[in-house]
Amino acid sequence: MCGTALSSLVAGAAHAQEANGVDEAGGDAIVVTAQRRAQRLLDVPVSVEVTGKEEIRTENLTSLVSFARQNPSIKVQGSGRSSNFFIRGTGSGESQSFDQSVGTFIDDIYHGRSRNSEATFLDLERVEVLKGPQSTFFGNNAIAGAFNIVSVKPSDEMTGWMRGLISPSSGENGGQYALEGAATLPFSEQFQMRVAGTMNGQRGVYRNVATGQRSPNQENFAFRATARYAPVETFEALLKGEISESVTKGGLVLRQTFCPPDEPFTAAGFCAANVAAGAPSGLENSLYTSNVGNYSRLRNKEAVLTLNAGVGDHTLTSTTGYYDYRFTLSLDNDGTASKFLNVLAPERYHQFSQEVRLSSALGQPLEYMAGLYFQDEKLDIQQDVSFFFLTANLAPVPVFAPLAPLLPIGQRVLATQKARTYSGFGSVTWNLTETISLSGGLRYSVVKKDFDWRLRLGTATRDYGGIAPFPEALQPLAGLIGIGTPGDVSLKRTDKQLMPSARIQFEPSPDLMAYASYSHGFKAGGFSVAELSANPDNYGFDPEKVDAYEVGLKGRFRDGAVSLNLAAFRNDFSDLQVVINGTNAAGAPVNFVRNAAQSRAQGLELEARAKLASFFQIAASGTYLDSKYRNYTDAGATYAQQYAAIQAGRNPSGERQDLSGKRTLYAPEWSGSVTGTLTLPVADGSNLIAEATGIFSSRYNTIFTLDPLAVQDGYARLDARLTLEILDGALAFDVIGKNLTDTTILTFSGYQPSSLGSFFQDRQPFRNVAFQVRFAF
């Protein structure tokens, strides 16, 4: 044991740097910071899955989206104005109003907005998937789990790596490419710097039959510099600066399905226009239709200063972070080659955070941590919707005659949310004996939010955006059209919550540990940006809460040749924040937020790894999940229910259904993967590695109404890799195959506007083969 907590922390971090996140047999080289300390995974009483730097680079995992495709129990999917993050069948779903229930933390800085799904990975040490509420150590919004992402830090040795990747540009491979690398520059024992950069992207899987362009045409760039200064043994300063940009030319690809729809529906609205034009439909082909101008761009910049100081046998840590992004989305929301319904949705966000915590040394009878946290943030959202298709319907109507010379009509929503979070937290572990310990944690959070919202109707002067507001005297008349009520809303709210947790841990040997835990989680309330009524009573939604119970077992056997992690859990959510899907009078989709449900997620998780011979190992993971709504009587209506309402003469946008007892979104009952790795020496310092991974999942739903038309059936997918390592592994050549079975795997569903029975959907990529070279020094 090192003499101070700081030296223990630094030693643990160095151990984590040397390890790749996982060793050959899941041994004690797996080091995580799931409790804000560098600890063996075996010693952490939390269900954690770890992916290390070698797997991230070797498997070409470039974002949270591609990372989640390897693990079918986790769902991360970009879907336009927001993204979906789900763990154990629980997440926040598609709404700009949400902080995500699955929190993302990068080098201890909270990234709560879903735009993270599109940010590119760069020189990562590991990705830890923490399952269940992580309130004590990671804050009030990590109610369903957290991604704890750790970048590589400078060390006192000259080290680095680089890789290049390319895949064929023709057919369904889509022309992937990547060129990236990193290096540590040890200027002295006291000062080191690490620089890293990446350029990666894709040159299009799909072909737009209307424009001839291939999409998505992605270009990702990122650069990071991290400096470490340690003038004395008891002090360390880390300063990180990073910029990145992710551009998708061609924007979000909305692939039309069920067009023409099955009976009793008939092709209507935009679907009917596509049928008349002979536009493609379905996910089995690589063709789609949209008009020109689709585009998205995410720009990030971030700075983090981390200070660690030894104070006797304690470590005082200060983490200061600034994070800023700008996002732009131009979206053809009708999915036709014509200019009917276009959206421009820019977004700006910046955040400042400060955390200070004091940690005792590990290995003492009493171990503890205490800290304070502050976060200040501002979110600016603009949404311009251009309703070009309404012109022909509105112009002849006498009551709208004053608006006729001002058409086409557009809608502009401007929303600003300012928030401040104040938290105090602490944890205590009492090592009763050498084998039994008790832990308790507590976090108290106060979250204050100010919300300003404005809706104005006006003239759509450009294909995307450019809404010139009508004169104020005409706003009430325009409001009669049914695409939103012009008005202004200003609201405030303060949420407070005490979040306790408790664990008991039994460790009869260094290679075996069992635990039982309870934790209470909380996600602050907020305001629904997509609510268009201008009635202040309709905008707020209350906090979401969870009581979570878990028991687990972690072990290493046969001198580390076999490892096993097993967890059983139950998470009871109350006041669940859910998205209600509806349509406005023009048939355009509207997603607003309500507290409308209680749910329970319970199940079993298994992760095992075995080295069966010196040349062969196998790894397997599996999840049984029973995640259902316990009380949800006000859900949005399915297509069939909307159709029935129309037949009965009712407004379909007001239809609701009872989903109590139904499975939640993105919640397969069974999911998992099995990987076999064969390593054959071919010469001194050279190995041939063959690896195959089978990934499976039972059926799950992909839309919040649980519409049976949007179900992904059970599937099995095969990935494989062939690698030649030479020069003792310093140089490697990879052939990487993804989805070799070319399985259609549905990832997202949305209702196509004014087209009852038809969808916009997305899928995981087609069969893909890429060629890669890696070099490390």
If you write DSSP's letter for every residue of 198-264 in order, what string do you get? EEEEEEEEEEETTT--EEEEEEEEEEEEEEEEEEETTEEEEEEEEEEEEEEET-S--EEESSSPPTT
Mean pLDDT in the chain?
90
- Which of 43-47, 99-103, 312-316 is the least confident region? 99-103
The DSSP output letter for 529 is: T
- Which of 20-29, 72-81, 83-92, 427-436 is the least confident region? 20-29
Residue 706: predicted pLDDT: 94
The stretch 306-328 carries a mean pLDDT of 96
Query: With 80 as the cut, is the pLDDT of residue 13 above it?
Result: no
Q: Which tokens go with 337?
A: 């080659």
Other Cβ atoms closer than 10 A to 641: 17
Query: With 60 as the cut, is the pLDDT of residue 25 above it?
Result: no
Integer CA distances (angstroms), 469 to 86, 340, 410, 534, 610, in order: 39, 19, 8, 17, 65
Beta strands in 83-132 (DSSP E): 83-87, 90-91, 102-106, 109-111, 124-131
**Residues whose CB is less than 8 angstroms from the CB of residue 179 and which lie 6 or more positions away in sequence, other chains included:** 162, 163, 164, 165, 198, 199, 200
Query: Percentage of residues in the chain with pLDDT exceeding 90?
Result: 74
17 in Cβ contact with 124 (< 8 Å):
no
Residue 6: predicted pLDDT: 57
The CB-based long-range contact list for 274-281 (8 Å cut-off, 24+ gap) reads 274/335, 274/336, 277/336, 277/337, 279/209, 279/210, 279/336, 279/337, 280/209, 280/256, 281/256, 281/257
Q: Quick one: which H or E segment has residue 499?
A: strand 487-509
Query: With 90 as the cut, is the pLDDT of residue 526 above it?
Result: yes
| Cis preceding-peptide flag for 216 (omega within 30 of 0) | yes
Residue 3: predicted pLDDT: 42
Residue 651: predicted pLDDT: 82
The stretch 159-181 carries a mean pLDDT of 86
pLDDT in tens, 556-569: 999 889 999 999 99
**Residues whose CB is less than 8 angstroms from the CB of residue 266 and which lie 6 or more positions away in sequence, other chains included:** 260, 757
Residue 303: predicted pLDDT: 98
CA 466 to CA 479: how far, in whole Å? 19
CA 560 to CA 167: how far, in whole Å? 37
Residue 141: predicted pLDDT: 82
Question: pLDDT class for 590, splitting at 50, 70, 90?
Answer: low
Query: With 70 as the cut, is the pLDDT of residue 226 above it?
Result: yes
Residue 12: predicted pLDDT: 43
Query: Percentage of residues in the chain with pLDDT exceeding 70?
Result: 93
CA 490 to CA 416: how far, in whole Å? 10
Beta strands in 524-667 (DSSP E): 526-527, 540-541, 544-557, 562-583, 589-613, 616-631, 635-636, 656-657
pLDDT in tens, 670-683: 999 999 999 999 99
**Residues whose CB is less than 8 angstroms from the CB of residue 152 and which lie 6 or more positions away in sequence, other chains included:** 17, 53, 123, 124, 125, 182, 194, 196
**Residues whose CB is less than 8 angstroms from the CB of residue 693 and which lie 6 or more positions away in sequence, other chains included:** 70, 673, 674, 675, 718, 719, 720
Cβ-in-10-Å burial (0-12, 13-18, 19+) of 490 comes to exposed
Q: Which tokens go with 362?
A: 């590990």
CA 291 to CA 434: how far, in whole Å? 68
**Cα 272 vs. chain centroid, distance in angstroms?**
34
Q: Which tokens go with 480?
A: 């009669």
Question: pLDDT class for 171, splitting at 50, 70, 90?
Answer: low
pLDDT in tens, 677-712: 999 999 999 999 999 999 999 999 999 899 999 999
Domains of the chain in start order, with CATH, are 5-776 (2.40.170.20)
CA 639 to CA 649: how far, in whole Å? 15
717 in Cβ contact with 696 (< 8 Å):
yes
CA 440 to CA 432: how far, in whole Å? 13
Residue 397: predicted pLDDT: 94
The stretch 624-644 carries a mean pLDDT of 93
Question: pLDDT class for 29, splitting at 50, 70, 90?
Answer: low
Residue 24: predicted pLDDT: 40
> What sections of 371-487 are H helices per DSSP?
391-394, 475-479
CA 697 to CA 564: how far, in whole Å? 21
CA 132 to CA 547: how far, in whole Å? 10
**Residues whose CB is less than 8 angstroms from the CB of residue 702 and which lie 6 or more positions away in sequence, other chains included:** 665, 666, 710, 711, 712, 746, 747, 748, 749, 761
Q: Which tokens go with 743?
A: 């399985």
Query: With 60 as the cut, is the pLDDT of residue 661 above it?
Result: yes
Cβ-in-10-Å burial (0-12, 13-18, 19+) of 365 comes to exposed
Other Cβ atoms closer than 10 A to 212: 7
Nearest to 636 by CA among 527, 710, 700: 710
Residue 18: predicted pLDDT: 44
382 in Cβ contact with 347 (< 8 Å):
yes
The stretch 592-613 carries a mean pLDDT of 92
Query: With 60 as the cut, is the pLDDT of residue 15 above it?
Result: no
The stretch 387-398 carries a mean pLDDT of 93
